[in-house]
Chain A
Amino acid sequence: MHELPITEDILRVAIKHAEDAGASKVVLVNLRIGALRDIQEEWMQRYMDFASAGTIAEGCQVYITRSPVIVSCSECGKQQEFTLASDVPPACPDHPGAEFTAVTGNELIIEGIGVA
């Protein structure tokens, strides 16, 4: 349900950039969303259809690229992919017991828009 205010924020940004560019219509929005974000993709489009009605972005398509969770070893910086479904925590071959920080996976970014 939090997808609605998120979508409204995306819509505001998209319309502002389209107007600044002198465009009359937003036809698509490209988003990048990390795997750690709890975002239901189908709701993003449904909410966009609802929120964009009557605006220059009415009917725009939402395209989502999911980025994986990449974590980095706090000792040496070596990176590895980590899946939430995995039973094993990330482990560095050279630094057992080291902690990890997420490099990607938390993104919720408007990459760009397509205007006409």
Chain B
Amino acid sequence: MSEIKLIDIKQAVLSSNKNLADDIRAQLALSGTFMLDVMGSPGAGKTTLLLDTIRRIQPHSVAVIEGDLESTVDSEKMDAAGVKVVQLRTGGSCHLDSRMIEAALREIDSTAYDMIVIENIGNLICPAEFDTGANKRVMLLSVPEGHDKVYKYPPMFIAVDALVVTKTDYLPGSDFDMRALHAEARKLNPQLAIFEVSAKTGDGMDDWCAWLTAHLQPTS
């Protein structure tokens, strides 16, 4: 066998994904559209939180990109609520990347919306690794999942700008340790904004919506 020659590369993996994500952000900035990437486990309450949030932040206009392995269940719910929605079916892929978002954005006239929300694939691992072109990233953690997810999936807690603890109406009688969650999450990510909400009772929704709308262009 001939001698092996070493070639230095020193290139970040997924830099093409990151570059496209930067292009998407620049493009959306032209129309003043804010893009939010929402991540969380299957069943964390992403669709429910989004539907309630979209209703509460009116008259801000919102379009949604739904990512799922299969089915159009979530986008049908959005559509029924009168929300503009584009469904991405990844056919088994565990995350969304900037190439898929670029394709979805071709179906949306971004000038007509203050915010585009990406409902990422239900998964606490893979989506953390892929920049989608969003301006802010949010993860949901529902009370029934348990506060210990922060010990098990640290990269997701590090990757996001805000953590929304959902289904707080399940707190009474549960062993969910909110104080331990806050301490560990802030240890991993000191700048993390944390909200505790229940879309069912409405508790905490005002604080969460205020944080979100602070990033949007004022409605005229």
Is there contact, CB below 8 Å, between B6 and A113?
yes
Q: Write out the residue numbers on chain A whose beta carbons fall within 8 Å of the beta carbon of B12.
A: 107-110
Q: Write out the residue numbers on chain A whose beta carbons fall within 8 Å of the beta carbon of B125.
A: 1-2, 38
Interface: B9 (CB within 8 A): yes
Is there contact, CB below 8 Å, between B2 and A113?
no
Is there contact, CB below 8 Å, between B10 and A2?
no
B196 to chain A, nearest CB (A): 21
Selected contact of A115 from candidates B7, B13, B95, CB within 8 Å: B7
Knowing A112-B6, A113-B6 are in contact, say whether A38-B11 is a contact too (CB < 8 A): no
CA distance A25 to B191 in the complex (A): 46
Is there contact, CB below 8 Å, between B155 and A2?
no
Is there contact, CB below 8 Å, between B7 and A13?
no
Selected contact of A6 from candidates B2, B11, B129, CB within 8 Å: B129
Selected contact of A36 from candidates B11, B17, B158, B187, CB within 8 Å: B158
Selected contact of A2 from candidates B129, B154, B186, B188, CB within 8 Å: B129
Report A1-25 CB contacts with B as 1/0, cut-off 8 Å.
Answer: 1100110011001100110010100
Is there contact, CB below 8 Å, between A13 and B11?
yes
Knowing A36-B155, A38-B128, A38-B129 are in contact, say whether A9-B14 is a contact too (CB < 8 A): yes
Residues of chain B in range 157-211 having any CB-CB distance to chain A below 8 Å? 158, 186-188, 190-191
> How many chain-B residues does the 8 Å CB contact rule pick out?
34
Is there contact, CB below 8 Å, between B1 and A110?
no
CA distance A27 to B69 in the complex (A): 35
Interface: B106 (CB within 8 A): no
Interface: A114 (CB within 8 A): yes
A19 to chain B, nearest CB (A): 11
Query: Taking beta carbons and an 8 Å cutoff, which residues of B are in contact with A?
Result: 1-14, 16-17, 93-95, 97, 125-126, 128-130, 153-155, 158, 186-188, 190-191
Name 22 A/B residue pairs within 8 A (Cβ), A-sorted.
A1-B94, A1-B125, A1-B126, A5-B14, A5-B93, A5-B95, A10-B13, A13-B13, A14-B9, A23-B5, A36-B155, A38-B128, A38-B129, A89-B187, A100-B190, A108-B129, A110-B13, A111-B9, A111-B10, A113-B6, A114-B5, A114-B7
16 more contacts with CB within 8 A, not counting A2-B94, A21-B7, A31-B13, are A9-B17, A13-B9, A13-B13, A28-B4, A36-B155, A38-B153, A84-B154, A100-B190, A107-B12, A110-B11, A112-B6, A112-B7, A113-B9, A114-B6, A115-B7, A116-B4
